[in-house]
Amino acid sequence: MAITPDGTSMLIGGGFAMADGIMSPCITEWDGVDYQSLGCGLTGNSWDCVSPFISSVGPLTDLEFWNGELYACGSFTYSGTTPVNFIARFDGTAWQPLGLGADAIVAGLRAMPDGLYAAGWFNQIDTVEALGLARWDGTRWYPVHDLPDITSVQASNAIGDVAEYNGMLYIAGNFAGPLGNNIARWNGTAWEGLNGGNGFLGSLGWVYRLEVHDGLLYMAGVFSTGSTGHPDNPGNGIVAFDGTDWYDLGGGTAGSVNHAVNEMLWWHDTLYIAGSFNMIGGVPTDGLARWD
């Protein structure tokens, strides 16, 4: 998800075909009241209008505006006949590659003052070795710190998102070892784990998304506590962190299919989340909810 530069609407990408009954293959726009098609989308294996991707694997995983331009990442490999390899930039007319792209899926994007950060389960991006985390300065890619336990990134050992909070760089995903479990931060010298070093535990311990708002770092994914998960996990599907303590958000998510929160975004002081859950905070929903 991404907020448009003028702040008037939200772009949502994914693997869907319709939004509120409106044909919007893989990408739609929400203005706070209604969903709107962008007049194009993924139909079969090709895009027209604003989003001409050909995807041999899957849909968009994230959208981000940086320096006034829209960036997209996911499982796609082509835009028309142009190879873009999992990440692309829209120049107002067409999608353009960022160097040679990545050698595997790019899962998350984050605009920061020093560049656009990309997270995923790639081992190389363009010609640069960057194990799951890299920074784009508008011209070239750079690796971001060393990740000691990820020597070969893949879907079962990957970074899903990155964010800056309280002056430190946080990463989240599906990893273990010296970085902790699925969530870690760079303290300026070394990586360190969170939640007493436990991170998020259990057979389902992915942290998909990070968001910073009003002095808190929000974390979303597929994790649970109590009898359905691991007692050391701080919540179900979504939690907040103040740098020291963890906070549950209204009981979190529930559902029959992992009750994951795959995406979240703050907009107009409201937190919007999307995922595979069918209940959150005791309220029935169909995978989309907001927290105000």
CA 14 – CA 217 distance, rounded (Å): 23
Give the long-range contacts of residues 111-118, CB within 8 A, separation 24 or more: 111/64, 111/65, 111/66, 112/164, 115/66, 115/142, 116/64, 116/66, 116/71, 117/144, 117/162, 118/73, 118/87
| Longest CA span, the chain | 51
CA-derived radius of gyration, the chain: 18
Main-chain phi, psi angles of 83, to 5 degrees: -65, 130
pLDDT tens sequence for the chain (292 residues):
677 767 777 777 666 666 777 666 566 777 777 777 654 443 334 434 444 454 444 577 889 999 988 898 988 888 777 888 999 888 877 778 999 999 999 999 999 999 999 999 898 999 999 888 999 999 999 999 876 555 444 555 689 999 999 999 999 988 876 666 788 899 888 888 887 656 666 556 788 999 999 999 999 988 888 656 677 777 888 999 999 888 888 888 876 556 888 888 888 888 988 888 888 888 888 888 888 7
Q: What pLDDT score does 128 carry? A: 93
Structural contact between residues 102 and 111, judged by C-beta atoms closer than 8 angstroms: no
CA 263 – CA 221 distance, rounded (Å): 8
Give the long-range contacts of residues 151-155, CB within 8 A, separation 24 or more: 152/123, 153/104, 153/120, 153/121, 153/122, 153/123, 154/104, 154/121, 155/105, 155/121
Give the long-range contacts of residues 282-287, CB within 8 A, separation 24 or more: 282/250, 282/251
Q: What pLDDT score does 176 carry? A: 74
Main-chain phi, psi angles of 2, to 5 degrees: -155, 145
Among the listed residues 112, 118, 2, 9, the one whose alpha carbon sits nearest the alpha carbon of residue 64: 2
Structural contact between residues 145 and 186, judged by C-beta atoms closer than 8 angstroms: yes
Q: What pLDDT score does 198 carry? A: 65
| Domains in the chain: boundaries | 1-113, 146-292
What 8-state DSSP symbol labels residue 138? S
Q: What pLDDT score does 260 carry? A: 85
The string of pLDDT tens digits covering residues 132-162 is 899 999 999 999 987 655 544 455 568 999 9
